[in-house]
Amino acid sequence: MGASVDTNTSYLLKLFVAGDSSRTGLAVANLRHICEDEFPGCYELVIIDVLRHPGIAEENKILAAPTLIKERPLPVRRIIGDLSDKEKVLTGIGLLPPQR
């Protein structure tokens, strides 16, 4: 995959999910797969259940789940929805240029 990612950069990703459903499991698995493919060994993935940590969700102004926030590298980007399409995810978090 020809993503223009800097492997020296440390990636910090926060995934906000709601509850422990199969949908949540799928979102987490999709994201891990993308991370392992794209940033092997240099990413940090934090998974936050908004039901168990409503305070953190509020601090981060989370409106829906799943929400993925890329905190590093800057700029901060967030996406909402389906994480199964790697290109769309990478585009969404600003690691690929938007396609039309």
Residues that bind another protein (CB under 8 A): 18-19, 23, 50-51, 54, 57, 61-69, 77-85, 88-89, 91-93, 98, 100
Cβ-count burial of 31 within 10 angstroms (0-12 exposed, 13-18 middle, 19+ buried)?
A: buried
Cα distances (angstroms) measured from residue 76 to each of 13, 18, 26, 51: 10, 22, 24, 23
Beta carbon of residue 75, minimum distance to another protein (angstroms, whole number)? 8
Q: How far is the CB of 96 from another protein (least distance, A)?
A: 12
Closest to another protein by CB, 39 or 79: 79
Q: How far is the CB of 29 from another protein (least distance, A)?
A: 14
CA distance 23 to 74: 28
- Which lies closer to another protein via its Cβ, residue 12 or residue 80? 80
Nearer to another protein, 45 or 78 (CB): 78
Q: Which residues are paired to 17 by β-bridges?
A: 49
Is 39 or 67 the residue whose CB approaches another protein more closely? 67
* CA terminus-to-terminus distance, the chain: 19
